[in-house]
Structure 1
Amino acid sequence: MTAYVALLRAVNVGGTGKLPMRDLVAMCERAGFSAVRTYIASGNVVFSSNETEAAVKADLEEALHAYAGKPVAVLVRTADELSGVLADNPFPGVPPNKVMALFLDHAPAATEIETVSGLTSEILQLGKRELYVHYPDGMGRSKLKIPAASRGTARNMNTVAKLVAMASEI
């Protein structure tokens, strides 16, 4: 069995995409995933499965579409991949709540950084299948617009570390 972390996009954020975490757990269990646990009510779920990453993503997106009546994007990483995201953080000396990983399905092109707007003090770095963003003044004050964000979902390094710890317990 492989330990996975699924990150749901636009769930329980700003009053949109309401999904009680108990319903997410039940969906995952019906899909055949085991050792299912959620972390905070923003669409983070850890579980194990014998399926491939692509199959896990497809199963979860199908279940979420049936539940919500609309597509809900899911970004999936193995426990090892998520651990790598944490280890590869290009801003290790920065408070973890000021560094976000924007998770994507595919490796970001070098041009992804060139397409941002509203850049002031923020610093962006490419990852394997993510973009790292350091928000020195905090994300809430930033005017940064990242076009890739429309097809991904972001988590700060505190959340990534907690999910890595949870996945390592499976």
Structure 2
Amino acid sequence: MKTFIALLRGINVSGQKLIKMELLRKVLIELDFKNIKTYIQSGNVIFQSNETEPVDLEKKISALILKHFSFEVPVVVVTLSDLEFVADNNPFATQTMPGDTQPYVTFLSEKPAAFNMEVLKSIDFGADRLIDIDRYIFLWYAHGAGTTKLTNTIIENKLKVKATSRNWKTVHKLIEMAKAST
């Protein structure tokens, strides 16, 4: 069995799309997942599966959530090696961040068209910065994630792919948990 990490977008935010992690873990057993663990309430699931294709897992998890919770949730599935790539290649990780800000990473469901990425990069997001590498966008929000105009919705609309973001602390915790599951 291979270890995967499912990143759910937009659950348990501002009272919308509420899913208890304990219930989500129980529901995911229907997909024959093993060693299911969740991290915080924002939809981070580490699991093992005999499935080999992340795209197939994304579809199955989304369909199962729709069936049990009656709303759609975009899902991006990554592997431990994907997370390690992100950790090793974050251009903001070695920079000193002002205050208590930290880098974020947006995980894309697929590599976007180059033209679409150029459209996104041409938008003035003030002091916020983005650097794309493959299926990942590394972000630094000058005044924190709560005030940025560089949101997942903008990223998805401009790139025409699913996107979900995690802060640097969460990325490292998911790596730690995924390693413990292998």
- TM-score, L = length of structure 1: 0.90
Q: Percent identity?
A: 31
* CA deviations over 1:78-130 (Å, ceiling 9, x no partner): 11111111111111124595211111111134442533645111111002212
User: Partner amino acid for 1:12?
Assistant: N
Corresponding residue for residue 122 of structure 1: 128
Corresponding residue for residue 31 of structure 2: 31
Residues 145, 113 of structure 1: alpha-carbon distance in 2 compared, 3 angstrom cutoff: farther
User: Partner amino acid for 2:136?
Assistant: E
1:154-165 to structure 2, matched below 5 A, reads 154-165=165-176
Residues 141, 83 of structure 1: alpha-carbon distance in 2 compared, 3 angstrom cutoff: same
Corresponding residue for residue 142 of structure 1: 148
* Kept in 1: contact 2:3–2:48 (CA 8 A): yes
1:57-72 to structure 2, matched below 5 A, reads 57-72=58-73
Q: What is the CA distance between 1:66 and its match in structure 2?
A: 0.4
> For the aligned residues, what is the CA RMSD?
1.9
* Kept in 2: contact 1:4–1:76 (CA 8 A): yes
1:1-170 to structure 2, matched below 5 A, reads 1-52=1-52, 53-94=54-95, 95=97, 97-110=101-114, 111-112=116-117, 114-115=119-120, 117=123, 119-145=125-151, 147-149=154-156, 151-170=162-181
Q: What is the CA distance between 1:143 and its match in structure 2?
A: 3.3
User: Partner amino acid for 1:59?
Assistant: K
Residues 92, 46 of structure 1: alpha-carbon distance in 2 compared, 3 angstrom cutoff: same
For structure 2, the 5+ residue unaligned runs are none
Number of aligned residue pairs: give it: 170
Q: What is the CA distance between 1:70 and its match in structure 2?
A: 2.5
* CA deviations over 1:118-161 (Å, ceiling 9, x no partner): 51111110022121111132222323356224531110111010
Residues 70, 136 of structure 1: alpha-carbon distance in 2 compared, 3 angstrom cutoff: same
SS at match of 1:76: strand
